Structure 1
Amino acid sequence: MQPQSLVEYGPRRVIVTITAVFCALLEIIDTTIVNVALNDMRGNLGATLNEISWVITAYSLANVIIVPMTSWLSQQFGRRNYFAASVIIFTVCSFLCGNAHNIWELVVFRFIQGMGGGALLVTSQTIITESWPAEKRAMAQAIYTLGVIVGPTLGPPLGGYIVDNYAWPYIFYINIPVGIIATLLTLQYVRSPKYEAKRPISQVDWWGIALLTIGISSLQYVLEKGQEEDWYSSKLITVLTITAVLGIFSFIWRELKYAYPIVNLRVLKNGNLRIGVLLSFIMGFGLFGSTFVIPLYTQSLLGWTAQQSGMLQLPSTLFVAVMMPVVAQLIQRGVPQKYLIAIGMTVFFFYSYWSYTIITPDTSSSNFFWPLIVRGFGLGLLSVPVSTMSLSTLKGQEIGQGAAFSGMMRQLGGSFGVAIISTFVSRQTQVHRSNLALHLDYNSLNVQQRVAQMAASIQARGADMNRARQTAYAMLDGALTKQATLLSYMDVFLWVGVMFLLCVPVVLLFIKTSKAKVNMADAAH
């Protein structure tokens, strides 16, 4: 029996694709848009810094729990129904988040919103992939990947504009009209495949659900809160790390043994998917890591606003948008994907090294323009080939399962990237500060003259001599910390670039050379 074709043509394909892309874009934007509103939320809701950070953590936890289960949930409820329900949950919770009266209401609604949002990301990719014919799937993945790349960059400037000109609840309210339209279009145009048969309640993998939830949520908490709680000096982080390892190991064992697993790990036997999942993790590390470190550097050292930091990356994002259809055409014309990926990783290394050489305490936005354009070029060469290769040889419900794995690993790669980079910056700053302090002799003539000049300037503004000298020494100490922090950011750019460069020979050696150009006769079968 031939599987049901879900390929759409004409206006139906356009509508289905736009609906899916906008839903994925909403989910991705919501991962970063709240970052710039945390201070306003904290003041308005009377929350502590630790409490307000749960607004981000709760959303991330919900995402990583639900993403691996999306294929199974689509099977249980029907893809159209599940997708529409996820959009409704996301939209309703956006309204509830904006109307939260205290911090814990907001955290609960953000968690539920994340449950709906995580489904949007992966199911959107599945819908787009199956709505396009096989010979045009590279273009389909280009359209989907554009949303994944653009989302993290658009979040901060959009959130900054809304907070500056309106109020923080509106960062949630803007989801509502898009969510309503997306729900109506989903119910009207999205189709459910007939191969997705519902399992009876007796066959539901409840142990698998429990172990996945425990293992992945524990891991995500460790990544989100590890640096904040000083890693393994915290008993909670230690316990949750052990729980994550045992939970994930038990989950893998359960899924390989159970006849009706909630997550079909056997799909990873597909070589393209297996390599694609690994590359998705590395890409998530680089994309979210670089998206995270640039605002951190510009805001902490250069004193930029969140909106300014977000706008800095906008030209790079627009360049990615230009690159996507070009790369898709190259793939459809038969250019081997492994060469595009290898070139993309090499270009990303050059971007990282260039950034390493230009950052100073006075770096301007114009200094970053061309390096970020280079980053956009590299991401364009990476994103579409990785996404296309991952799903290229999958069929039927395997497409949804493969998309779930790729989405989960991209999310985890981003979480690992942010956790490792934030820890590295914190620890490396201390190392650089100690090294710099060894070369700073407070009794030397040059230092004393510098302190005297600073003290005289402060004293001229009305301070007494003793206070002026104390302030001058404090300023000198602050300059030392600033220089140490700058050096740690330089190290981040360099080592992330080296990581991508080391992946190039792996890509060339282990990805089999195959042309993505699809024979039209084969595509019809």
Structure 2
Amino acid sequence: METGFRKWIIVITIIVSTIIELIDTTIVNVSLNTMSGNLGASLEDTAWVITSYAIANVIIIPMTSFLAQTIGRKQYYIGSIILFTVTSALCGMSTNLWSLVVFRFLQGIGGGALLSTSQAILYDTFAPTERALASGIFSLGIIIGPSIGPVLGGYIVDNFSWQYIFYVNIPIGVMAAILSFMYLKPSQPSREGKKIDWLGVVLLAIGVGALQVVLERGETEDWFSANYIIVLSVVAFLCIYIFIWWELTVKHPVIDLRVLKSPTLALSAIMTFILGFGLFGNVFVFPLFAQRLIGYSAFQTGLMLLPGTLLAACFSPFLGRMMQSGVRPQYLVISGFLSSAIFGFLLSQSNLEVGSDYFFMPLIFRGIGASLLIVPLTVLAISELKPADIPQGAALNNMMRQLGGSFGIALINTYITHRAATHRNDLVSHITVGDYFTTQRLSALTHNFIAHGAGYYDATKQALAALEGTMIRQTYLLSYTDAFALIALMNACCVTLVIITIKKKRKALQKSSVTVADH
């Protein structure tokens, strides 16, 4: 536990490190087109810049507790910052795609390690009675990072070159490493003669890595139409199955899955998965909706996300104090899922005529929902764990959020594609030569183009192209609103899950009270 100036220097260092790690999960998304052109690669291949970082994140996050104990937490944390900073510079200096992909993977190894280690350091910095406040502060990075990534990336790409997306990490990383060296308490490795669980490390890396590739690339490859997706799916299943069996039997596992015996941690992990699904899914779908259909730039889209994000950032520390004063986290979780469901429902009612004013309130609900979920779920996840198990529980919870995000992006992308095909077929069935409204629309469009100087033949072609464009926009409007409705439904189902859990826990407490009274 720390006090005074030292305490808040550590807090600032931790939050900044968390933010830059999570910014890098989304900052690249808006610059793929530019990278693709500059590096002479296809857009499909360039997407590996995002995929490699996500794979590294999900592999390393659950291993952070083990590695921090083996190496020493301070050494591991500073080493991770240095690795993240150096590879950020190497990413910016890359002259071909595949060297960039390799450096992004290494950057993800350094960045993923920061997430759970940062959380464990924060918990040690605050007194046990202030753990909820620590969770509130930690949530700032989780909320702010993914949301401001697109706006920062859009601004950099519009005004500088794509390399500065990575160079911006260098001064921040250097400062974080220096402050960590000066102010973090020294920590010694605590292996105590334990053997390193190399089989667990290998199984985890292969299993989670293969699963992540399937999730990230499945939609692009039409899922099981590609042989390598089939092979990787089998590899992922076998490796994860054997990994779970091995970790539950080996004496010193790389990930102690026994902590999941805590029902609260297990339930929190499930809800954190759904939180990640919605959090990253929203950040994926909303920019597509705003840019492709409404016509906003990447920077404008990011600015629309900003008010809700800032409100959530201001709100989060107070949630910690509320829980310290006795407010049950379960009630905050219910409010968070309700707010997230309202966000999805309101956007599912959108049309092509809406402007930025329409999005303001839904995005406020999104920000409030995220803050009401991240802090209480983090507190709930570790609430029943022994102090020695907290780092492991925190790492597992963080992994579930990242996995939820990967599943969310992959499944929502697939869902949008399938809904688009369904809606297109429905719309095409109404556009026929004999349909009165189709004939009237084509006639009006043709006369409009003729009035602007086109010949009859060219005007007819332009009218057909305009009708096709309208149909495509309507198709994707319906598909995106379906995706928002799906997110709303998932969040609404979680409300029911939490209420059932509260009732069961209350009955169990009443039963135990009656038993004690009888004795």
Instruction: Report the TM-score range of the alignment, normalised by the length of the smaller protein.
Output: over 0.9
Provide the residue aligned with 1:179 in structure 2.
Answer: 173
Q: Which residue is equivalent to 1:3?
A: none
- 1:237 alignment partner in structure 2: 229
In the alignment, residue 364 of structure 2 is paired with which amino acid? I
Alignment of 1:17-56 (within 5 A): 17-56=11-50
Match of 2:515 in 1: none
Alignment check: 8 A CA contact 2:139 2:371 kept: no
Distance (whole Å) between structure 2 residues aligned to residue 436 and residue 159 of structure 1: 36
Provide the secondary structure at the position in 2 that maps to 1:198: coil
CA contact (8 A) 2:74 2:187 kept: no
1:120 maps onto 2:111 in alignment:
no
The question of whether the paired residues in 2 share the 8 Å contact of 1:218 and 1:240 is answered with: yes
Q: Distance in 1 between matches of 2:7 and 2:267?
A: 29
Q: How does 1:427-466 map to 2 (within 5 A)?
A: 427-466=418-457
Backbone CA RMSD of aligned residues: 1.7
Aligned equivalents of 2:370, 2:171: Cα separation in 1: 31
TM-superposed deviation, 1:193: 5.1
What residue identity is the alignment partner of 2:177?
A: T
In the TM superposition, residue 199 of structure 1 has moved relative to its aligned partner by 5.7
Q: State whether structure 2 residue 83 is matched by structure 1 residue 65.
A: no
Q: Provide the residue aligned with 1:322 in structure 2.
A: 314
Superposed CA offset, 1:498-524 (max 9, x none): 11111112112225469xxxxxxxxxx
Residue 330 (structure 1) shift: 1.5
- Determine if contact 2:147/2:305 at 8 Å carries over to the other structure: yes
2:393 aligned with 1:393, yes or no?
no
Q: Which residue in the other structure is 1:349 paired with?
A: 341
Counterpart of 1:129, as a letter, is Y
Aligned to 2:497: 506
Structure 2: how far apart are the matches of 1:432 and 1:255? 46
Following the alignment from structure 1 to structure 2, what is the Cα–Cα distance between the partners of residues 58 and 505? 36
Q: Within 2, Cα distance between the matches of 1:478 and 1:104?
A: 36
Aligned length: 506
* CA distance, structure 2, for counterparts of residue 482 and residue 442 of structure 1: 21
Q: Distance in 2 between matches of 1:439 and 1:247?
A: 49
Within 5 Å, which residues of 2 pair with 1:219-258? 219-258=211-250
Deviation string for 1:165-185 (max 9, x for gaps)?
A: 111111111111111111111
- Alignment map for 1:160-171 (pairs within 5 Å): 160-171=154-165
Deviations for 1:286-338, whole angstroms, at most 9, x for unmatched residues?
A: 11111111001111111211111111110010110122122222111101111
Change (3 A) 1:398 1:193: farther
Q: Is the 8 A contact 2:271 2:494 kept in 1?
A: no
- Match for 1:198: what amino acid? R
Alignment of 1:144-155 (within 5 A): 144-155=138-149
**For structure 1, which segment, 478-487 or 138-147, has the greater mean C-alpha deviation from structure 2 after superposition?**
478-487
Task: Describe the superposition over 1:136-165 as per-residue Cα deviations: whole angstroms up to 9, x where unpaired.
Answer: 111110110111011111101111111111
Please give the alpha-carbon distance, in whole angstroms, between the structure 2 residues aligned to 1:446 and 1:216. Answer: 52
Distance 2:153 2:218 in 1: 26
Aligned to 2:413: 422
Displacement of 1:67: 0.8
Matches within 5 A, 1:261-272: 261-272=253-264
Gaps of 5+ in 1: 1-6, 515-525
Aligned to 2:75: 81
Matches within 5 A, 1:328-367: 328-357=320-349, 359-367=350-358
Q: Residues 339-368 of structure 1: CA distance to partner in whole angstroms, max 9, x if unpaired?
A: 1111221222122111212x1112211100
Output the CA distance in 2 between the equivalents of 1:198 and 1:280: 30
Q: State whether structure 2 residue 9 is matched by structure 1 residue 15.
A: yes
Map Cα deviations across residues 18-61 of structure 1 (whole Å, 9 max, x no partner): 11111111100011111111112111111111221111011011
Structure 1 residue 444: deviation in Å?
2.6
Q: Distance in 2 between matches of 1:290 and 1:442?
A: 39
TM-score by length of 1: 0.93
Q: Is the 8 A contact 1:272 1:390 kept in 2?
A: yes
Q: Which residue of 2 is the match for residue 485 of structure 1? A: 476
> What letter corresponds to residue 112 of structure 1 in structure 2?
L
Q: Which residue identity lines up with residue 431 of structure 1 in the other structure?
A: T
Q: Distance in 1 between matches of 2:187 and 2:75?
A: 12
Q: Contact 1:54 / 1:107 at 8 angstroms: preserved in 2? A: yes
Alpha-carbon contact 1:76-1:199 (below 8 Å) kept: no
Q: Percent identity?
A: 45
Q: Per-residue deviation at 1:383?
A: 1.6
How far off its partner does 1:232 sit?
1.3
1:301 partnered with 2:293? yes
